[in-house]
Structure 1
Amino acid sequence: MKKHELGEWGALLLGLYRASHETALEEFQDAALACVRPLVSFDASMWGTATLTDQGIDIHTLHLHRKSPEMMAEYEPLKDLDDAAISLIGLPRATRSFDSDLLGGPDERRPYYSEAGFDEMLRREWSDWNGGAIPREVLEHFLLGNGHYLGRTLVLSHRTQQGLLFLHARPRRPVDELSPREHVIAELMAMGKTYKEIAKALERSPATVRNQIRSIYQKLGVTNIAGLIEGLRP
């Protein structure tokens, strides 16, 4: 650790010590987080205690720092997906380790947290990716309004919540080779529709639909409807 970094961490410890002695209990959490912010960039935080039950995460106490109470209404249905919190339950005095280079900073394309396997899938797609910023082409693709990024080896989908971008990655599968029209036809076939019913519904000729069905089977590498249904499974 460099000399100036030692000074910064020393100031943090002194600030926390002072806050613990001079600040009222109900104000300590905000004071402590204010001490941390110069070293670890963040806009807001949650500070609480919880246990993991058979039904999921059971929150006992919670302090919202620079967050509105409405935030909890949004977090409630997602709390059981919070792998970072779950990984700490049952580990007294433990901390979750993050790479300090990925926390805050000017490059907002850097991930704050990733699940097991995510980094490996990105390296398989981009051999020179070193775990830093999400490839710019991915974010630009989503900014254009696209729901999925179809790569050479993976498929990325996204959603936004509380100003954060959540990415989901999975390996590319044969079903990803289908065109949007072929995907619609495949879904209708899986529902039990005949090619004539599909042609009527889509206002296409039966011969055109038959050719598209043949293409669907070839791309999925199947020869019957059972194989097609299996190939469409997520």
Structure 2
Amino acid sequence: MNQVLSSSPSPDLVEYSTVLLRLYEAARYNTVHAFQREAMILISEMLPFDRGWWGRSTVHGQVHRVHCSYLHDLPEDVPQRLNLSDPDNLVAVRTTQSPDRALYFGPQDWDQQPSTAALAAHMGIEQALCIARFDGPAGHVSFISIARRTSTPAFTTRESQLLELLMPHLSAALDLCCVAQMASLRHGGRQAMLTTDASGWVHVAESGVGELLRSEWSGWSGPQLPAPLVEQIAANRTIFLGRHLHAQTLWSGEHVLVTLRPRESRDLLTRQECAVAEAFSSGRSYKEVARELMMAPATVRHHLRAVYLKLGVTDKAMLARSMGASSSAG
């Protein structure tokens, strides 16, 4: 007969289980930025802190670079200050040297490195628990730092252990949130999606991403996006139109969601031309299209002439087939 060792879990286990359930629930139904905000609040219920920093970074040799961050009650320029002080930043070096370990930092640690001490003073903190986790072979790192403005109460060994237990779930839940938000943007057809950051480092990608990127850049292998897409993201442009590829970007906090699909003839149309073509190809007359889109009939005819020329069609039936094929593919 099996022996029942315990009929009721400890309060700590119940609280931990509850936080995990709420964490994954939040990941399924929020944008990335909103999820990170809610997740930090959930962590603070188990592990009280005043300020926090949750981000992704890359490590190449001795150089650490933060690419996207969620800042909890911290100055917005903290990531830039860390990048400028790297590779001397004590926290970045030690946490990546001891991954998956929550390390304690206090004034005695800050004072070992002037730039680290200056950053801690700018953040307005006296102590912190920091942990880093390598997400894959490409050098991607997830990190979380939780801090208190005063030296008391000091972070405990139990709190350090809790952060170590939570960290893998926080990384997994963030990826789940990225996937869920990508799924909410899907419109069907042959497309693939990925999440990246302002520097173009790919964090989460669907299986078709590589094939679509290589249709435009045959030698691409990652983990950073091709330079033209990185430039598009840096310039905050929404649409990239290549010889074979259409890419659309959407910012969510400091994460960037990118939708890739093969280029279509309709991608050459302006927004107004596309609206006119869709309405006219669905069977409406010039006057009905004009009334629906609040345009003059002459404007509708002008747009249709441009549409016919760009799509290489000569009548309404060909237009309908072209717009229908494009819609089903996109």
Q: Report the TM-score when normalising by structure 1.
A: 0.51
* Residues 209 and 144 of structure 1: CA distance in aligned 2, closer, same or farther (over 3 Å): same
Residue in 2 that maps onto 1:109: 200
Residue in 2 that maps onto 1:216: 307
Task: Give the CA deviation at 1:199.
Answer: 4.2
Alignment check: 8 A CA contact 2:200 2:229 kept: no
Alignment check: 8 A CA contact 1:142 1:149 kept: no
**Matches of 1:137 and 1:117 in 2, distance apart?**
19
SS in 2 for 1:65: helix
SS in 1 for 2:218: coil
Deviations along 1:94-132, whole A, 9 cap, x unmatched? xxxxxxxxxxxxx94221232222122222212343424
SS in 1 for 2:210: helix
Q: Mapping of 1:1-234 within 5 angstroms?
A: 34=131, 36=133, 41-44=141-144, 64-65=166-167, 75=177, 78=180, 81=183, 108-161=199-252, 163-190=254-281, 192-199=283-290, 201-204=293-296, 206=298, 208-222=299-313, 223=315, 224=317, 226-233=320-327, 234=330
Counterpart AA for 1:227: R
Counterpart AA for 1:174: S
* Residues 145 and 197 of structure 1: CA distance in aligned 2, closer, same or farther (over 3 Å): farther
**Matches of 2:214 and 2:226 in 1, distance apart?**
11
Q: Report the TM-score when normalising by structure 2.
A: 0.38
- Stretches of structure 1 that go unaligned for 5 or more consecutive residues are 1-10, 17-30, 45-62, 82-106
Q: Where in structure 1 do 4 or more consecutive aligned residues deviate above 6 Å?
A: none
Counterpart AA for 1:43: F
SS in 2 for 1:137: helix
Task: Give the CA deviation at 1:176.
Answer: 0.8
Instruction: Please tell me the root mean square deviation across aligned C-alpha atoms, in Å.
Output: 4.5
Deviations along 1:118-175, whole A, 9 cap, x unmatched? 1222222123434242133323323444322111111111223353222111000111
The answer to which of 184-193 and 167-176 deviates more is 184-193
* Residues 161 and 132 of structure 1: CA distance in aligned 2, closer, same or farther (over 3 Å): same
Task: Give the CA deviation at 1:181.
Answer: 2.6
Alignment check: 8 A CA contact 1:142 1:148 kept: no
Larger RCO: Structure 1 or Structure 2 (Cα < 8 Å, ≥ 6 residues apart)? 2
* Residues 34 and 190 of structure 1: CA distance in aligned 2, closer, same or farther (over 3 Å): same
SS in 1 for 2:246: strand
* Residues 220 and 64 of structure 1: CA distance in aligned 2, closer, same or farther (over 3 Å): farther
Q: How many residues align?
A: 164
- Stretches of structure 2 that go unaligned for 5 or more consecutive residues are 1-96, 102-128, 145-164, 184-197
Percent identity over the alignment is 25
